[in-house]
Structure formats: C-alpha cells, structure tokens
C-alpha cells in the first residue's frame, strides 16, 4: 500500500525553478560536455578537456572564457539518453535559452532522432514558459570527411530538419506517437508544412568546432542573454 500512499500524497515536493539557465541539449555524443568545459575554461594548452558520456546533468555557474565583461551564466549540460527525456521535460521550466548541439559527422543518420527532440522542445509548455531563444550548433566540423571539408553544414542541416520535423509532426498528428500529450502545446504551422519561421521561439543556426576552439557564434548568442 506504500506506493498507493505516495501517489495519493503527491510524492516529493515540486522543485522551484528560476528559469534563468542555459541548457546544453542534443543527442548522446553530440559534444555537450566538451562545449560546457570549453565555454567555462577555453582550450587548455590548445586541447579540449577530456570527457565521457554523461549519465546525469552537469550544472555550473561561471563567466564564460572570453566574455569576462558579462555576469555569470548558469549552464546545465543535460545527457542525451532517451530514457532521461522525462526528467529533462520536467526541468525545462528552468530554461532561459537552449544551445542545441548536433554532431555534423553523424547528422545524416540521426536526423530523425534530432528532429524528435527538437519538436519535443518546441512543443513543451515548460520550456516555453521562460525560453525564447535557441541556437542550433552544427559541431565537430573539424572532423568532417575530406569530401565535405570546407563546406558549411548549417544550411544543409537547417533544411533537412524542416523536412524531418514535419515528418514527426505528421506522425504525432496521426496518433502514431505514444508519448504523453499533456505537457505539449500544438505547433502552429502557417503553410502546408513546417518551416523554421513557424517555431514558437527564435532559432538560429551556426557551425562550430569545440576541438579548434571556434565558438564565436555561441559567444555572440550568449551576449544576448
């Protein structure tokens, strides 16, 4: 009977959120933790801080390296595991802005999963409470194969994600997606299919390489907060 009692008693006390954190989000191995260390510490002796796949959120408050003239930022690096998604959705009320990381090298095979997470974010009532900005970072561009070297992935990724998000939106509209709808708002689309102009928050795209320390577009984004 203990479980029934806990449910009836409402369980643990609801956490209070400030709504002022920058969330680093993305699938597993997209470079979130490396980006957290790079933003905090810069390159150390020309190299990135070694990382491993996170099993729990990392949170820190710091003045980003290279932005010493601004106030400290609270940054949360949330793991990309699908099983942790319910915990993420609960925490999104704490979010003021999203830096969404994509591995440019594996995007072609993970585009649908990326689109599912982005649509979860853009239809989350918790996220939209305080968050009005998202930067989608096409990262690891230093590791692109030779035939793609020198190209800018961000426009290709932006276009492909419109198609993939529309596909996920259609599936969910047909009831083919079994994730609970109660925490979602409908994504309003002006035309026949989703375009980024339909997003309920301001979304920008950039290319970056944590390994090379090329994060100027991310600094520019953070300066707006």
pLDDT digits (tens, 9 = 90+) for 163-194: 999 999 988 887 655 555 556 788 889 988 99
Q: pLDDT value at position 151?
A: 72
**Rounded to whole angstroms, how far apart are CA atoms 10 and 14?**
9
Q: Residue 55: what pLDDT? A: 82
Which of 20, 30, 175, 42 lies closest to 103, judged by CA? 30
For strand 58-62 and strand 73-77, is the pairing parallel, antiparallel, or unpaired? antiparallel
Query: Could you tell me the pTM of the whole model?
Result: 0.88
pLDDT of residue 6: 42
pLDDT (mean) for 111-125: 96
At 145, is the secondary structure helix, strand, or coil?
A: coil
- What pLDDT does residue 69 have? 86
Tell whether the model's pLDDT for residue 8 goes beyond 50.
no
Question: Which 8-state DSSP code applies to residue 197?
Answer: G
Return the pLDDT at 1. Answer: 42
Segment 86-114 shows an average pLDDT of: 94
d(CA 206, CA 185): 27
pLDDT at 152 over 60: yes
What are 126's two structure tokens?
A: 């918790």
Mean pLDDT, rounded, for 25-51:
84
Over range 131-159, report the average pLDDT. Answer: 85
What per-residue confidence (pLDDT) applies to 2? 42
The contacts of residue 145 (CB under 8 Å, 6+ apart) are 105
What is the pLDDT confidence band of residue 48, given thresholds at 50, 70 and 90?
low
CA distance 171 to 39: 37
Q: Please state, for a pLDDT cut of 70, what percent of the chain lies above it.
A: 83
Positive or negative, the CA dihedral 159, 88, 215, 210 is negative
Query: Rounded CA gap, 144 and 136, in Å?
Result: 18
Question: How much is the average pLDDT of 33-60?
Answer: 81
- Reply yes or no on whether the pLDDT at 54 is more than 80: no
3-class DSSP state for residue 174? coil
- Unique residue bearing structure tokens 């408050």: 61
What confidence category does residue 196 fall into, taking pLDDT thresholds of 50, 70 and 90?
very high
Q: Is the per-residue pLDDT at 206 higher than 80?
A: yes
Least confidently predicted of 35-39, 54-58, 162-166, 206-210: 54-58
Does residue 221 surpass a pLDDT of 70?
A: yes
Consecutive H or E run containing 134: strand 133-139
Q: With cut-offs at 50, 70 and 90, classify the pLDDT of residue 141.
A: confident
Helix (H), strand (E) at residue 108: helix 107-122
């Amino acid at each position: 009977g203990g479980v029934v009692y806990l449910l009836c008693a409402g369980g643990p006390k609801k956490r209070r959120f400030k709504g002022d954190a920058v969330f680093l989000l993305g699938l597993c191995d997209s470079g979130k933790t490396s980006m957290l260390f790079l933003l905090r510490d810069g390159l150390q002796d020309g190299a990135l801080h070694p990382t491993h796949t996170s099993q729990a959120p990392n949170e820190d408050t710091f003045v980003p390296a290279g932005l010493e003239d601004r106030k400290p930022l609270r940054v949360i690096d949330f793991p990309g595991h699908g099983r942790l998604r319910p915990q993420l959705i609960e925490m999104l009320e704490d979010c003021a802005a999203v830096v969404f990381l994509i591995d440019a090298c594996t995007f072609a095979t993970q585009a649908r999963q990326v689109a599912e997470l982005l649509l979860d974010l853009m239809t989350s009532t918790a996220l939209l409470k305080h968050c009005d900005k998202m930067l989608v970072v096409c990262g690891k561009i230093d590791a692109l194969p030779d035939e793609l070297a020198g190209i800018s992935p961000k426009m290709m990724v932006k276009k492909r994600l419109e198609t993939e998000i529309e596909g996920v939106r259609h599936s969910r509209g047909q009831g083919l997606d079994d994730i609970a709808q109660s925490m979602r708002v409908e994504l309003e689309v002006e035309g026949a299919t989703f375009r980024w102009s339909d997003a309920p928050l301001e979304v920008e795209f950039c290319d970056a390489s944590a390994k090379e320390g090329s994060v100027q577009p991310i600094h520019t984004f953070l300066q707006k907060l």
